[in-house]
Amino acid sequence: MIDYTFELLEVIEEQNQMTVKFSSPGREDIIVGTPLPTEGMDLKDFLYPYAPIPIWLEKDRKVFVPQVGESGQYSVQEYEEKKREKEMAALMEYSNSLEQQLMRELQIQSTKDLVAEVLVEKGLITPE
């Protein structure tokens, strides 16, 4: 999560443009040109899509710097196996998520059925 501030540096009404400086603690300020917002729009909401969050995140990203002279060998079979493993892991994660959702729904329905049964036994509701 990146918090930021903005400051309007320039508004050129006749060209329907403005210049905005975005700042975030510990990061380089970035100046962006945008169109003017439509009348009645909240300025913060309007400027949010123009905030340079992806640029700041990219600059924060830790990179691996390979060394000149490194070499290796990679086979299509190895690539396909890794790809298949990743796809299976994603499928298993999705399957587990669906299973958990189904279990929650079954628990909710079971609780509803039990409550209905008790209410019927106590004569508070009539059976359907």
92 vs 128, which has greater pLDDT? 92
pLDDT at 128 over 80: no
Cα angle: 72, vertex 76, 77; to 5 degrees: 105
Going by C-beta distance under 8 Å and a sequence separation of 6 or more, which residues neighbour residue 56? 2, 24, 27, 30
β-bridge pairing 30-35 and 5-12 = unpaired
pLDDT at 127 over 90: no
Query: Which pTM was predicted?
Result: 0.51
Residues 53 and 85 in one domain: no
70-81 tens-digit pLDDT: 998 878 888 899
Strands, DSSP E only, in the chain? 5-12, 17-23, 30-35
Residues 25 and 49 in one domain: yes
- Residues of the domain holding 22: 5-60
Q: What is the pLDDT of residue 30?
A: 97
Q: What is the pLDDT of residue 117?
A: 87
Task: Give how many domains the chain has, as a whole number.
Answer: 2
107-119 tens-digit pLDDT: 888 888 888 888 8
pLDDT at 8 over 80: yes
- State the Cα–Cα distance between residues 114 and 122, nearest whole angstrom: 12
The Cβ of residue 100 has, within 10 Å, a number of other Cβ atoms equal to: 10
Domain-embedded: residue 65: no
Cα angle: 20, vertex 26, 30; to 5 degrees: 20
